[in-house]
Amino acid sequence: MPQHIAHLPDDRSAAWRDAAAATSVLRRALAERGIVLPSLGVDPLGPVAGVNLVELGRVRPDVAIALAGALECGGQGLSDGRTP
């Protein structure tokens, strides 16, 4: 666990861990498609309503197009059963 959250109450550190885990999953999925978001990480501003956000950051236009293409060609529904 990063030093800057070691002192946080359990609920805030759990929120950070959730965001960090989501960041890792997203980074791996994007990397499998050759996409790198250099600014991808846990939002440093901390939890909002008990949830830490994942910062996607800014990207070059070609990376945005590659990301859109990966989403359009994914062929899988959303995790809640809806289709994209």
pLDDT exceeds cutoff 50 at 79: no
Note if the pTM is more than 0.85: no
Q: Is residue 31 part of a domain?
A: yes
Distances from the Cα of 22 to the Cαs of 32, 66, 77, in angstroms?
16, 20, 18
Q: What is the per-residue pLDDT across 2-31, written as a single tens digit (0 to 9) for each?
A: 555 455 555 568 888 999 999 999 999 999
- Answer whether residue 73 is part of any domain: no
Identify whether 44 is part of a domain. yes
Asked if 40 and 54 count as a contact pair (C-beta separation under 8 A), the reply is yes
The answer to which of 15-19, 47-51, 60-64 has the lowest mean pLDDT is 47-51
Query: Is 64 among the domain residues?
Result: no
Choice between 35 and 83, residue whose per-residue pLDDT is larger: 35
Q: Is residue 23 part of a domain?
A: yes
- Please give the residue range of the domain that contains residue 52: 8-59
- Please tell me the total count of domains within the chain: 1
